[in-house]
Amino acid sequence: MQIPFNKPHLTGKETHYMYEAVNTGKLSGNGVFTKRCQQWFESRYGFKKTLLTTSGTDALEMCAMLSSLQPGDEVIVPSYTFVSTALAFLREGAKVVFADSMSCNPNLDADCLESLITSRTRVIVPVHYAGVACDMNAIMEVAKKHNLIVVEDAAQAIDSYCNGQPLGGIGHLAAFSFHETKNITAGGEGGLLVINDERFIRRAEIIWEKGTNRAEFFRGEVNKYGWVDMGSSFLPSEVNAAFLWAQLESLDEIQNKRKLLWNRYHERLTPLAEKGFFTLPHIPAYASLNAHMFYLVLPDLASRTSLIATMKANGVLAVFHYLSLHSSEYYKDRHDGRALEQCDRYADCLVRLPLYYDLTIEEVDMICDYITAHYHG
């Protein structure tokens, strides 16, 4: 039996809604399904304004554009993240200042923020790794003190919370991803920009509409529309929005199944963790579980390599994750030289186990049996 790392789930309604979208005669963005998805997010989570995008990367790039950065402005980003988090701000001319992770989980260490802030700092970008909240109370407090913008990279954090507040709804701006590896997908690629601060709403719509005030025109707020700002083609097609709508309708069912699998992993692997073979994911008291990912942190690179090889030999695809961005080929010469020990530890020692809706409890048990046998023979 082969168990992949990920497998996109189909609810059964995707093709029906995609067919419906085609039959409306409008396939370009901002149609019936786009509006339906956006209203769903605003209603369920209380987000002030949402805009669907073609990817999570595009949503981050819109956040960077809305931040109105000048050359030399600094943006604090965790080093242990996907390249898009940093690249969005680099493209706007900013200097990225990399922050270390916490020792208990890969999220940005809020305690180190004050030491990284200078007179040129403009933005903090917390990434909610594995859908687990960063310490947003501490981050927002620092941001308020220094008058900084907070952009939540909530790519993995759908339906996750911090102190009861939905992630993506705490910072000034936020970006979600609906890539096929996420809990829900918009047909392979997709994203969402969340605007929680009124001052960004009008410009966000303009950037979203290729730098035009087209949205205002269609609402009857102006008698003609034209080119008024920078922008790009960030709107997804109605076909992608229709696919996403089917997934949103089943979100609770999807989340419940994923949590069932996550909890089974945790239950089965706790005895091995207690013996010191690895550590399990840490969920702080202020955070909730959205079951995006189940990972182990091994003692060293050799231990991880050995476990991955055992999994592969048994037909299970277990995979590592990010390489530290501060030591990447592209950016290492621009990094300020600080050692980011926790980021490097996760880069060397973290391994992700299969977790997707169609995975069965029996398959989770089989994977856990392979891991147990790896350590006990």
Among the candidates 249, 279, 298, a domain finishes at: 249
Instruction: Assess whether 219 and 357 both reside in one domain.
Output: no
Question: pLDDT tens across 227-255, in order?
Answer: 888 999 999 999 999 999 999 999 999 99
Instruction: Give the whole-angstrom CA distance, residue 377 versus residue 286.
Output: 38
Instruction: Assess whether 147 and 242 both reside in one domain.
Output: yes
How many C-beta atoms surround the C-beta of residue 139 within 10 A? 23
* Dihedral sign of CA atoms 44, 47, 49, 51 in order: negative
Instruction: Assess whether 126 and 36 both reside in one domain.
Output: yes
Write down the residue that tokens 């995979």 correspond to. 319
Q: Which of 118, 166, 172, 182 is nearest to 144 (CA)?
A: 172
* Per-residue model confidence (pLDDT) at position 222: 76
* Dihedral sign of CA atoms 304, 306, 309, 315 in order: negative
Assigned domain for 104 exists: yes
* Dihedral sign of CA atoms 81, 47, 60, 111 in order: negative
Q: How sure is the predictor about 25, in pLDDT bands with cuts at 50, 70 and 90?
A: confident
246 CB-side CA count, 13 A: 21
CA distances from 273 to 45, 262, 268, 319 (A): 35, 15, 10, 19
Q: Which residues contact 79 (CB under 8 A, 6 or more apart)?
A: 98, 99, 100, 101, 324, 325, 326, 327, 340, 343
Instruction: Give the E-state strand segments of 79-190 in sequence order.
Output: 95-99, 121-124, 149-153, 161-162, 165-166, 173-177
Assigned domain for 215 exists: yes
Instruction: Assess whether 39 and 82 both reside in one domain.
Output: yes
Assigned domain for 8 exists: no
Instruction: Assess whether 202 and 229 both reside in one domain.
Output: yes
Among the candidates 195, 216, 249, a domain finishes at: 249
* Per-residue model confidence (pLDDT) at position 225: 83
**Mean pLDDT for the chain overall:** 96
Instruction: Assess whether 121 and 187 both reside in one domain.
Output: yes
Assigned domain for 5 exists: no
For 162-166, 295-299, 338-342, which range has the lowest pLDDT when averaged over its residues?
338-342
Q: Which residues contact 141 (CB under 8 A, 6 or more apart)?
A: none
Strand partners of residue 98:
77
With a cut of 90, say whether residue 69 has pLDDT above it.
Answer: yes
Instruction: Assess whether 68 and 188 both reside in one domain.
Output: yes
The pLDDT of 45-62, averaged and rounded, is 98
With a cut of 80, say whether residue 215 has pLDDT above it.
Answer: no
With a cut of 80, say whether residue 220 has pLDDT above it.
Answer: no
Assigned domain for 1 exists: no
With a cut of 80, say whether residue 138 has pLDDT above it.
Answer: yes
Instruction: Give the whole-angstrom CA distance, residue 18 versus residue 35.
Output: 15
Q: How sure is the predictor about 271, in pLDDT bands with cuts at 50, 70 and 90?
A: very high
Instruction: Assess whether 211 and 87 both reside in one domain.
Output: yes
With a cut of 80, say whether residue 274 has pLDDT above it.
Answer: yes
- 94 alpha carbon, distance to own chain's centre: 21
Instruction: Assess whether 44 and 153 both reside in one domain.
Output: yes
Instruction: Assess whether 238 and 264 both reside in one domain.
Output: no
What is the four-CA torsion angle of 175, 178, 184, 185, rounded to 10 degrees? 160
* Per-residue model confidence (pLDDT) at position 89: 98
CATH number of the domain bearing residue 50:
3.40.640.10
The pLDDT of 108-124, averaged and rounded, is 97
The pLDDT of 71-81, averaged and rounded, is 97
The one-character DSSP state at 169 is S
The pLDDT of 299-308, averaged and rounded, is 98
How many residues in the chain?
377
Question: pLDDT tens across 164-214, in order?
Answer: 999 999 999 999 999 999 999 999 999 999 999 999 999 999 999 988 887
**Structural contact between residues 186 and 248, judged by C-beta atoms closer than 8 angstroms:** no
Q: How sure is the predictor about 29, in pLDDT bands with cuts at 50, 70 and 90?
A: confident
Query: In terms of residue numbers, what domain contains 82?
Result: 14-249
Q: Which of 116, 103, 86 is nearest to 341 (CA)?
A: 103
Instruction: Give the whole-angstrom CA distance, residue 178 versus residue 188.
Output: 7
- Total domains in the chain come to 2
How many C-beta atoms surround the C-beta of residue 223 within 10 A? 6
CATH number of the domain bearing residue 320:
3.90.1150.10
Assigned domain for 4 exists: no
Among the candidates 229, 249, 269, a domain finishes at: 249
**Structural contact between residues 113 and 162, judged by C-beta atoms closer than 8 angstroms:** no
3-state SS, 292-330, equals CCEEEECCCHHHHHHHHHHHHHCCECCECCCCCHHHCCC
Assigned domain for 37 exists: yes
Q: Enter the tokens of residue 158.
A: 């759908």
Instruction: Give the whole-angstrom CA distance, residue 68 versus residue 297.
Output: 38
* Per-residue model confidence (pLDDT) at position 186: 97
With a cut of 80, say whether residue 293 has pLDDT above it.
Answer: yes
**Three-state secondary-structure class, residue 83:** helix
The pLDDT of 337-345, averaged and rounded, is 94
CA distances from 335 to 41, 70, 71, 330 (A): 37, 19, 17, 10
Strand 149-153 to strand 173-177: parallel, antiparallel, or no bridges (unpaired)?
Answer: parallel
The one-character DSSP state at 233 is B
Question: pLDDT tens across 40-53, in order?
Answer: 999 999 999 999 99
